[in-house]
Structure 1
Amino acid sequence: MPPTTTAAIDSMGIDGPNNTPSGGFVCKFAGCTAPPFQTQYLLNSHANVHSSARPHYCSVTGCPRSEGGKGFKRKNEMIRHGLVHESPGYICPFCPDRDHKYPRPDNLQRHVRVHHVDKHKDDPLLREVLSQRPDGPNRGRRRRGNGF
């Protein structure tokens, strides 16, 4: 049975037959197991993980990730890193070196769960760390548009 007109149109791209299925932008790097990407842009962004280039740098002078330093492979990683400089900082109460600040409370909580497993669940400091939430009106939670 020949394809319907609609099916034939759906399989055509602007320049002819579209050989990639929806979300079919596949990484051709040998051994890469990443699932297909929805857009060419996302595939191009992913390609950076296979490169040693780190073209994105922190704008804060003196940061080890600034120009001349380590940098980032992906722009979104550099943007997320900016929180380190903008956050008031969440400090681990159990570490003797109090210089390292975590930009978000969930980062501190992950650190505590991994590096301080010896703390008893009823420890008041542990309970305080694990109860911290991000500041601000949204506090990191999505809200429904219908007011519920």
Structure 2
Amino acid sequence: MSTPKRSSTGSRGDGASVTGTFRCEHAGCIAPPFQTQYLLNSHANVHSINRPHFCHVPGCPRGEKGRGFKRKNEMIRHGLVHDSPGYVCPFCPDREHKYPRPDNLQRHVRVHHQDKSKDDPQLREVLAQRPEGGSRGRRRRVGG
């Protein structure tokens, strides 16, 4: 892999100019420049064959003896497969479709139940459930 290059210009999103964005120099990569070296390094994993992050649940095919993950955040998201109560499709007969993450259920409904609205009360009720143990999303800073 070639050495990452630092670009001299960029945009912060508020119209202000930003200097020092980092570009991926991997052949054929079309990723936009990254604002930090850390983000570029994280991105570089997509070009690697290494999968250094593994699920810690015994017997999981994504464990150390199986196929791990290139990125830590992917491994953490995968953990929902084991921790989630399951999001059951309210529109399928016999409730046979169960998904570990709410976005998986939303995609299923979009593809297989095109006549249903994303705001359908039955779907909203299922999506409102939360896994035990609190929030699994981004951490929020407490206090001011």
TM-score, length-scaled by structure 1: 0.65
Measured after TM superposition, the shift of residue 107 of structure 1 is 2.5
Q: Which residue is 2:122 aligned to?
A: 128
Change (3 A) 1:139 1:31: closer
Tell me the residue number matched to 1:63: 60
Q: Which amino acid aligns with 2:42?
A: S
Structure 1: which 5+ residue stretches go unaligned?
Answer: 1-18
Say which of 82, 85, 88 aligns to 1:85: 82
Task: Please give the root-mean-square deviation of Cα atoms over the aligned residues, in Å.
Answer: 3.4
User: Alpha-carbon deviations, 1:26-80, whole Å to 9, x = none?
Assistant: 1000111111111111111101111122111111111121112121111111011
Map residues 9-88 of structure 1 onto 2, 5 A cutoff: 20-21=7-8, 22-88=19-85
> How many aligned residue pairs are there?
123
The 8 Å contact of residues 23 and 36 in structure 1, kept in 2 or not, is answered as no
Q: Does 1:98 align with 2:93?
A: no
Change beyond 3 A, Cα 1:88–1:23: farther
* Distance in structure 1 (CA, Å) of the matches to 2:61 and 2:136: 29
Compute the TM-score of the two structures, normalised by the length of structure 2.
0.66
Identity, % of aligned positions: 61
5+ residue gaps, structure 2, are 1-5, 9-18
